Structure 1
Amino acid sequence: MRSLPEVHGSISVPHDAGFWRRLFAFVGPGWLVAVGYMDPGNWATDIAGGSAFGYALLSVVLLSNLMAIILQSLSARLGIGAGMDLAQACKQQYSRPVSFVLWVLCEIAIIACDLAEVLGTAIALKLLFGLPLVTGVCITALDVFLILALQRYGFRRLEAFVAALLIIIAGCFAFELAWAGPNWADAAAGLVPSAQIVTNPLMLYIAIGILGATVMPHNLYLHSAIVQTRAVGEGLARKRDALKMATIDSTVSLGLAFFINAAILILAAATFHVAGRTEVADIEEAHQLLAPMLGVGAASVVFAVALLASGQNSTVTGTLAGQIVMEGFLEIRLPMWIRRMITRGLAIIPAVIGVVIAGDSGATQLLVMSQVVLSLQLPFAVLPLVAFTGSRRVMGEMAAPKWLLVVAWLIAAVIVCLNCWLLWGLVSG
């Protein structure tokens, strides 16, 4: 069974053309992947980190992004080299009980991600139009029709829609940073890791939340499938060229994701931390304070527009990831709108309960918690990915070189160790 069979190999590649024309044919999947690295969950963790600790956690954003570039290149390698997405590879290589557990864990990660999208979109609707948060949460169920409308026009149009929203988000934060006027020397110093990140429990909690918000488990499944929308053809030379182009595409796109994540944290540090407002960890509170503290009335509106674009973008990729995971692990194919309503319903229920019980202030706590849940799920996607891409039995001549495997296993070890540290901290209080 092919990954995303309705669009598999649907985009032609001019194999005999020059570098730039070939690269253009592969531009797109990286944009879809980058969306997951700047969804509303990132906003909550970046705002909390910037307001509480200034620029110190910029190093975590940078390291997370570098990890993401390596892991996404492995994901593209699996899709192009083995012709399988990560879910299909797990089903093929592992026993039924193991693959079932991995499917359950991945579904939990997708629901956690969808929870962040629901809350982020609902908060944006409240900030822009004054809708109650519970009403906004319920309205997000309707975005399934946006997905269906986009898919009617082909995968290339869907990629273009996502790219347009990403450009809007980047433009919004370029304006915000110009208004905030951060101390760029301090920001550059924040790119150097500090031992305090590990020794300070609160800083570590937010750092792992940033890691979970940046390196998304479902993105590894997504990327391995959507690179197969290109008609790569047979032959080792064509596959290697396709991998090179796909890696350039994802690396450049993730560079944009780093700019946006860093911009959110820098904005919070330059606006709130320097003013002594270290307790700001709420997206709504940040929105309310931006205009008076920056002295620019449009700052809050631009912030909310970027948040709404972020939530809608994440909706597209979350839906695709859910389809890939279910089809790959279970070989069950559901109509897109049914799949979307199931996932979104499972996210809306805890969102509504959380908002009703904790009030609007509980939304940001749910956002941060969802990112920590994503981080805890991450090893169960990373470890199989690294194992498969290093196996000649699975990859043949497209197996990852030894230096890349060493780096990937180090990344996997860091992720596992940080998660164990977090679990120990949560258990021990």
Structure 2
Amino acid sequence: MRNRIKGEASLSEVHGSVDISTKSIGWRRILAFFGPAYLVSVGYMDPGNWATDLAGGSHFGYTLIWVLLMSNLMALLLQTLSARLGIVRGRDLAQANRETYSRSVNFMLYVLAEIAIAACDLAEVLGMAIGINLLTGLPLIWGVSITVLDTFLLLFLQQLGIRKMEAFIIGLVAIVGLSFLIEILMAKPNFGEMATGLVPTLPNEQALYIAIGIIGATVMPHNLYLHSALVQTRKIARTKEGIKQALKWSFIDSAIALNVAFLVNAAILVLAATTFFKKGLVEVAEIKEAHQLLSGLLGSKVAPVLFAVALIAAGQSSTITGTLAGQIVMEGYLRLRINPWMRRLITRLLAIIPAILVIAISGEKEVDGLLVLSQVILSLQLGFAIIPLIHFVSDKKTMGDFTIKPIVQVAAWLVTVVLVYLNLRMLFDQVSSFFATSTNIFWKVLIIAGGATFLGLLVYIIFYPFFNKRAAGSIQLHKQIEGLQKLTIPSYKKIAVALDFGEHDDTLLSHAIGQGQGNAEYLLIHVVESASARLLGQESDDFETRNDEARLQSYVQQLHDQGLIATSHLGFRDRAGEIVRIIKESKADMLVIGAHRHSGIKDWLYGETINSVRHELKIPILVVNL
């Protein structure tokens, strides 16, 4: 089920799986670089951004388009820095933090990152549920519940490999983009007036508040973790030129993908401006309300359908990348890996449970408030991802010649100051409102204590590099190899063989004999999994137990006839646990086990015996594909 991993690469299942060096010079080589940024870009057009875009367009028309453009440029800068960290140092942001900060600080950063991912997933769950409700009429509480099923979709996509997953995500992004393109053509906006929205202006305090919401909802902290890991799926030449080329094409990939995200967000704002603001409907800020009005205002029944389909596609694409970010965070900070389906299920339940409780207690009218809350929580985590990232890519010791230039450092810190200020201001406004209306002393004390801890940690990570010189080690373009030491060829005295009494038993035994060279003792293991054996264990005496015992003895006798030393041991109940127990008790020094190559849901249904066994044993394990 789980494993403590040491020194493994980020997203190890797909790390370096796209070999750039095998591609010929030209478009195929360039396209091989493209993909990671598209997985990142979906976080910039997820359902959590829709409410702020709708509010901006319906309240102020095209006026706030410049805010979207500015936030997109900020996002491009930060995502480029994240990709640089992954490409140059071969570390994702979580791994770099783990190597730099103390255990207690890392634990707090891990908890904050997990909260951010859960909040992001909450927005995606609600967005998909609203989309399903708008499309089919299914009540929100049921829509939220069935979103748990996409756990299996992610499991399936992970089995196909990173390129197939990227293609799937790009397909969903295309659906969102095409849907809004059609709606924009239906709305027929005035492109001349749209251009005036690129001139920076804030008509009043309410515009400032919505602008803060747009910026705060744009840059997602989990995307910085995600991008630094995804770029490592490309296997590049670890030379100065190879890294330069990877950085160049990664920037282009990010620029294209994030501009697509900008166009989608701009389309939502323009649609709201053209359809609602121009008609005098300046209070439309809720997704469901916007959907209900589209049909009448655009004179087409297709428009609300496209709106709902785009919402579902945006939610589904974001939920997949959110889970990948969760895997990166957990493995990077804790060196802890759990099965993808379990990771997905836990994350999804953390989002579903509060959504169901709110809907059940307060009704569907509170859903948009829950969406806003998720964005507030997300924005609060942003500084804890951006600040360490800037420190890492500015460090000459670890980045070498690829340290960012002073002008880029200045730009990055300016962006950070703006984002952290806006997010803290939004938080202060929310807290001030609560303190003005609430008489609950307990919550006030809790908020004050939490706020002090929050600000203290923020100050700590800002100034940490200046008073602590602990470094993770400088970049190495080539590993230092001292030469092979004197090799010691092992010989095995007792080789255990895990048999399932199938057609491949002879194959397993042949491999075991090959390893032992006829000089080892062979321990034949089989685990009885009948209902009686599971209930009674070693006390079981049913037909299957007796039959399995007889078969083991038959195998032992046949090996004796060939002049080999063999013994047997029957286990009961849990297959993986019994194999581990028997091997430890018998002190076998090697295990031979068969792999039936189940994948996806079958792997979950039949169990992951090999993974469970190898994580518990320290002896060599030979896995034979059957």
1:401: which partner in 2?
405
Separation (CA, whole Å) in 1 of partners of 2:273 and 2:290:
11
1:414: which partner in 2?
418
2:248: which partner in 1?
244
2:41 is the counterpart of 1:34? yes
Structure 2: which amino acid aligns with 1:105? L
Correspondence list, 1:18-417, <5 A: 18-196=25-203, 200=205, 202-417=206-421
Q: Deviations over 1:154-176 (max 9, x none)?
A: 11000000011111111100000
Structure 2: which amino acid aligns with 1:31? Y
Where does the alignment leave 5 or more consecutive residues of structure 1 unmatched?
none
CA deviation after TM superposition for structure 1 residue 424, in Å: 2.7
Aligned CA distance change for structure 1 residues 195 and 268 (closer, same or farther; 3 Å): closer
Is the 8 Å Cα contact of residues 208 and 372 (structure 1) preserved in structure 2? no
Is the 8 Å Cα contact of residues 208 and 375 (structure 1) preserved in structure 2? no
Identity of aligned residues (%): 57
Secondary structure, counterpart of 1:192 in structure 2: coil
CA deviation after TM superposition for structure 1 residue 117, in Å: 0.4
Separation (CA, whole Å) in 1 of partners of 2:414 and 2:381:
17
Separation (CA, whole Å) in 2 of partners of 1:41 and 1:77:
27
Q: Greater helix share, 1 or 2?
A: 1
CA deviation after TM superposition for structure 1 residue 56, in Å: 2.2
Q: With structure 1 as the length reference, what TM-score do the two structures score?
A: 0.96
CA deviation after TM superposition for structure 1 residue 190, in Å: 1.6
Separation (CA, whole Å) in 1 of partners of 2:300 and 2:417:
45
CA deviation after TM superposition for structure 1 residue 324, in Å: 0.3
With a CA cutoff of 8 Å and minimum separation of 6, indicate the structure with the bigger relative contact order. 1
CA deviation after TM superposition for structure 1 residue 420, in Å: 2.6
Separation (CA, whole Å) in 1 of partners of 2:23 and 2:162:
23
CA deviation after TM superposition for structure 1 residue 363, in Å: 1.4
Separation (CA, whole Å) in 1 of partners of 2:91 and 2:285:
40
Separation (CA, whole Å) in 1 of partners of 2:369 and 2:431:
19
Q: Deviations over 1:337-382 (max 9, x none)?
A: 1111111111111111222233222212211221122112111111
- 203-212 or 104-113, larger mean C-alpha shift: 203-212
Is the 8 Å Cα contact of residues 216 and 422 (structure 2) preserved in structure 1? no
Is the 8 Å Cα contact of residues 210 and 371 (structure 1) preserved in structure 2? no
CA deviation after TM superposition for structure 1 residue 274, in Å: 1.4
Q: 2:19 aligns with which of 12, 29, 33?
A: 12
Is the 8 Å Cα contact of residues 282 and 361 (structure 1) preserved in structure 2? no
CA deviation after TM superposition for structure 1 residue 428, in Å: 3.0
Separation (CA, whole Å) in 2 of partners of 1:301 and 1:380:
39
- 354-363 or 342-351, larger mean C-alpha shift: 354-363
Separation (CA, whole Å) in 1 of partners of 2:146 and 2:322:
17
Is the 8 Å Cα contact of residues 86 and 385 (structure 1) preserved in structure 2? yes
CA deviation after TM superposition for structure 1 residue 181, in Å: 1.3
Q: Deviations over 1:129-174 (max 9, x none)?
A: 1111000000011100000111111110000000111111111000
What is the aligned length? 426
